[in-house]
Amino acid sequence: MECSFISKLSVEEFKHILRIAGKDIEGSKKSIVALSEVKGVGYNLSQVILQSLNINPYLRVGFLTDKELSEIENSIRNIGTVGVPNWYLNRRKDMDSGADIHLITSDLDFTQSNDIDREKSVMSWRGYRHMFGLRVRGQCTRTTGRKASAVGVKKASGKAPAGAPGAK
């Protein structure tokens, strides 16, 4: 059986820790798994990126060359160059620009918090639900989603109160 996993770098050139899109990644992980550690890039998107760049997804990421790493980082930052359809992006019809974009790392967190703050400021129903810490997407809340300890009837201690029926 021919091994197609032979690396282009020698063991001496192996990178134990490398940085992709602002995230430190262990070099011993497979490239498809390592890319999915970046916030905003999942397993399927990392597979699409690696296929478009003709990089073996099962190659250890520490064996990738600097050129391949820069290509990966550029394609993550500009996901439209990879040929991903618009429905695959995580921010379609952006409120500010109206464009279809894909956010990663801290930009994703920042935009999400801004969206929630905007909902609160316009006093929409979703904003109210966010303000009070309730479920936003229409889930039932009668029995689930309780954050406090047990809700219900408190168990009485051994003695009954003086005026209660059956008290002696």
**Same domain, yes or no, for 34 and 79?**
yes
C-alpha 63/C-alpha 147 separation (Å) is: 46
Q: Is residue 73 part of a domain?
A: yes
Q: Is residue 163 part of a domain?
A: no
**Same domain, yes or no, for 31 and 67?**
yes
Q: Is residue 22 part of a domain?
A: yes
**Same domain, yes or no, for 74 and 117?**
no
**Same domain, yes or no, for 66 and 119?**
no
Q: Is residue 129 part of a domain?
A: yes
CA–CA distances in Å: residue 117 to residues 20, 35, 59, 113, 150: 30, 30, 42, 6, 31
Per-residue pLDDT tens over the stretch 119-157: 999 999 999 999 988 899 988 888 887 776 665 666 666
- pLDDT over 90 (residue 86): no
Q: Is residue 93 part of a domain?
A: no
Q: Burial level of 72, CB count in 10 A (0-12/13-18/19+)? A: buried
Q: Is residue 117 part of a domain?
A: yes
Q: Is residue 40 part of a domain?
A: yes
- pLDDT over 90 (residue 33): yes
- pLDDT over 60 (residue 9): no
Give the predicted TM-score (pTM) of the model: 0.68
Q: Is residue 54 part of a domain?
A: yes
Number of domains in the chain: 2
Q: Strand pairing partners for 102?
A: none
For all residues of the chain together, what is the average pLDDT? 83
**Same domain, yes or no, for 58 and 119?**
no
- pLDDT over 70 (residue 161): no
Query: Domain span at residue 62?
Result: 11-86
- State the helix-helix crossing angle for 66-77 and 43-52, rounded to 10 degrees: 120
CA–CA distances in Å: residue 141 to residues 134, 145, 146: 8, 6, 8
